Amino acid sequence: MNQTKTSMAAAILALLGTSGLAAKPATPTAPIHYDADHKTFRIDAGKITYAFGVNDDGILQTLYWGSRLAPDDAVGNATPPKSRSAFDAIGANTPQEYAGWGGPITVMPDLKAHFADGNRDLILRYQNYKIDDGGLQVTLGDKAAKVTVILRYVADPATGIIGRSARIENHATQVMTLDRVAAASWNLPAATDYSLRYLTGTWAAEWHVRTRPLTPGATDLESRRGSTGDENNPWFAIERGGHWNESQGHVWFGALGWSGSWNIHIDQDVLNQVRITGGFNPFDFSYRLQPGEGLDTPVFYAGYTDDGIGEASRLMHRFEITRILPEGPKPKLRPVLYNSWEATEFKVNEPEQERLAEKAASLGVERFVIDDGWFGARNSDKAGLGDWVVNREKFPNGLKPLIDKVHGLKMSFGLWVEPEMVNPDSDLYRQHPDWVLNFQDRQRSLGRNQMVLNLARQDVRDYVFNALDKLLTENDIQFLKWDYNRNWSEPGWPQVAPEEQQKVYVTYVQNLYDIMRRLRERHPGVEIESCSGGGGRVDLGIMGLTDEVWPSDNTDPSDRLSIQDGFSYAYTPAVMMAWVTGSPNWVNKRNSSLDFRFLSSMQGGLGIGANILEWTPAEDATARSYVEAYKGIRATVQQGLLYRLLSPQERAPYSATESVAADGSQAVLFAFLRQGQEAQAYPTIHLQGLDASSRYRYRAIHGTVAPGTPAVASGAYWMSHGIDLGLHSDFDAAAVVFDRVNGGR
């Protein structure tokens, strides 16, 4: 890996000196200023200003977070609010940047701890700060308890997104037990017209977008599952005012970079102040710090825009591409991929995979991936997980002949792995039954016939690293699809003392990241996809170590429109893989045309997962032309600016998206009609994000446009007059490309 590149998470953790991620050079941050007269800190980045100060009690208090202010605008002084009543003591409601649970505090604390001597009171007061190229570090502490908390702020100059994290250090001579540890809290001013947008879902139905008004009371978005999960994704957006839409309105948004159990607690208090606290999930959490020990939190990222939720998503996308992905700021485009999982399931074998590879190459595919079933005694999901050796019945000569064949066909080669799991029916489990998460002498629940290896154990961590390192050393592999197909149960760790066992929630994930980081360092050409039975492990933590993600096992092209749309609120299409699979689709038996399937999948990283050996010459020709067309637009689709034009949420009949190349030279419009609406015409599409005075020529990849549509027109025309598409019947679709004509104007 190029050592000069670094993700923002790595920069923060490098400065904190953690072992979690690589100690790479720091990412440049936007300027951060300290005003000694007013004891205020101020960040100006992108289009935002963020400010906080030290109040008379030595408490850090949020002062402002919103649109960029003029350089000489005052951001105010931090002052403790007056006591309202005996029930609201002075300081109880102060919007603290990072609050310890102690004193009269009633806002949600970021840190709650108890000490060996019985004390549970922790008051974090300002001690000092440091600003350098890597960002701002503010040290808080409770002098009596001998605890320090180092808050870290890094701001992205382009998007204004701020990454915050904390390091907790125990300098006392007694053990300190952490009961609750957040990365950061974000405070919004008192208002009565906030609404929350969040993502929810389940297997094969991920990425549903939901909104609800905020009223006094709390909402927890969280996972108690041991991993990110798809019940909620660690992303939020809070919009203000009743008039918001894609391109208008104040939006505060954020995402947590953590792939274990997490919690984002959104609280509106009786004074209508809103506080968003995110970090390790406090449920079943306990982390003991011996004297001299410390703990680093994940990074909680957040941004603001007054250009609506569409712009909030585009800021996130840009931030992920440039600051999170391991190959950022210019990650490679996703190659067109073939994977036979839906076609062959576990029945993989050398001759058939070779035939599939030949066919895939003839369609223009660039990466060939063998999914589950190539290893151990893996003929179904009942056996073999944990035994990462090639199944010689299926591949008598090992993987080399197939890999050579794939390379000879000018494709890269990839392999499916699920390294954190074990089937009871495996050599690994027979040898090491004590390696799984479990409580002593209690049941071990299965999920998909498998258990979770306790990656927090050093021997398990080493086994997983060595197995994958060997696989990548002995075989010329360019890609791993890294799967994770169940959630935790009985998360015990009987080999350590009872009071140390809950560290598993932190150490497991740290070790997962460590394995991925070391594999990337030792095998710099290998890319990784994060998959968890679909989109169950997508977050800014794992994205710092992987190149793409699998958003859902649901490959129905109509369901996928909603899934992909929901995904796009938080995450960039640059990492979102989408396959063309068989019709009828296995999820819902829905039939759809090959055109509809291709166009739906072309909204992300295009893959093919159908049994292409059964395709007719006509289907081959269709596929070939879409793959070729896709290669001409994929830079725009994957890494351009995404505009959601017609929302497919709530089973809406229409769906349209537009992607605009970063340099404005191309725009790609996808439009879908799920169900014809009486005799109604498809809504006129008004493009967005074009240069109004440049001229663009349209060409349809598929579908028709209304007669009389000019071949070339200004950006203003396409955006204001719009374009009418000839979509009428169920599962009609169109893709239209707008290329800026020579010279632009």
CB contact burial 455-485 (16+ within 10 A = b; e otherwise): bbbeebbebbbebbbebbeeeebbbbbbbbb
- Number of residues lying near ligand GLA (CB under 6 A): 11
Residue 100 or residue 533: which is nearer to ligand GLA going by CB? 533
Residue 296 or residue 371: which is nearer to ligand GLA going by CB? 371
Distance CA 527, CA 497 (A): 38
Q: Which of 372, 553, 595, 739 is catalytic?
A: 553
Residue 310 or residue 376: which is nearer to ligand GLA going by CB? 376
Contact 250, 298 (CB under 8 A): no
- What angle, rounded to 10 degrees, do the helices at 350-363 and 400-408 form? 10
Largest CA distance in the chain: 82
Closest approach, Cβ 452 to ligand GLA, in A, equals: 15
Figure out which of the listed residues 222, 553, 556, 691 binds ligand GLA, where binding follows CB under 6 A.
Answer: 553
Binding track, positions 518-547, relative to ligand GLA; x by CB under 6 A: -------------x-xx-------------
Torsion angle of alpha carbons 171, 175, 180, 183, nearest 10°?
A: 30
Binding track, positions 442-481, relative to ligand GLA; x by CB under 6 A: ----------------------------------------
Contact 417, 388 (CB under 8 A): yes
Site for ligand GLA contains 416 (CB under 6 A): yes
Tokens 């166009």, residue located: 599
Figure out which of the listed residues 44, 206, 311, 483 binds ligand GLA, where binding follows CB under 6 A.
Answer: 483
Distance CA 196, CA 92 (A): 25
Contact 40, 55 (CB under 8 A): no
Q: Which of 267, 296, 483, 559 is catalytic?
A: 483
Active-site annotation holds for 553 = yes
Residue 337 or residue 531: which is nearer to ligand GLA going by CB? 531
- Where do the DSSP E strands lie in 490-597? 527-530, 548-549, 577-580
Residue 230 or residue 553: which is nearer to ligand GLA going by CB? 553
Binding track, positions 325-364, relative to ligand GLA; x by CB under 6 A: ----------------x-----------------------
- SS3 at position 433: helix
Closest approach, Cβ 346 to ligand GLA, in A, equals: 8
Active-site annotation holds for 307 = no
Could you give phi then psi for residue 258, rounded to 5 degrees?
A: -150, 135
Residue 44 or residue 418: which is nearer to ligand GLA going by CB? 418
Q: Do you know the residue count of the chain?
A: 745
Closest approach, Cβ 201 to ligand GLA, in A, equals: 14
Closest approach, Cβ 373 to ligand GLA, in A, equals: 8
Distance CA 276, CA 197 (A): 13
Q: 595: Cβ–Cβ under 8 A, 6 or more apart, which residues?
A: 622, 626, 702, 733
Closest approach, Cβ 207 to ligand GLA, in A, equals: 14
Site for ligand GLA contains 198 (CB under 6 A): no
The DSSP secondary structure of 246-282, one letter per residue, reads TTEEEEEEEEEE-SSSEEEEEEE-TT--EEEEEEE--
Residue 148 or residue 228: which is nearer to ligand GLA going by CB? 228
Contact 122, 113 (CB under 8 A): yes
Residue sitting closest to ligand GLA (CB): 372
Could you give phi then psi for residue 660, rounded to 5 degrees?
A: -115, 130
Figure out which of the listed residues 268, 281, 344, 485 binds ligand GLA, where binding follows CB under 6 A.
Answer: 485
Site for ligand GLA contains 372 (CB under 6 A): yes
Measured CA to CA in angstroms, residue 296 lies from 323, 361, 510 at distances of 20, 46, 10
Closest approach, Cβ 531 to ligand GLA, in A, equals: 5
Residues that bind ligand GLA (CB under 6 A): 341, 371-372, 416, 483, 485, 531, 533-534, 550, 553
Residues classed as catalytic:
483, 553
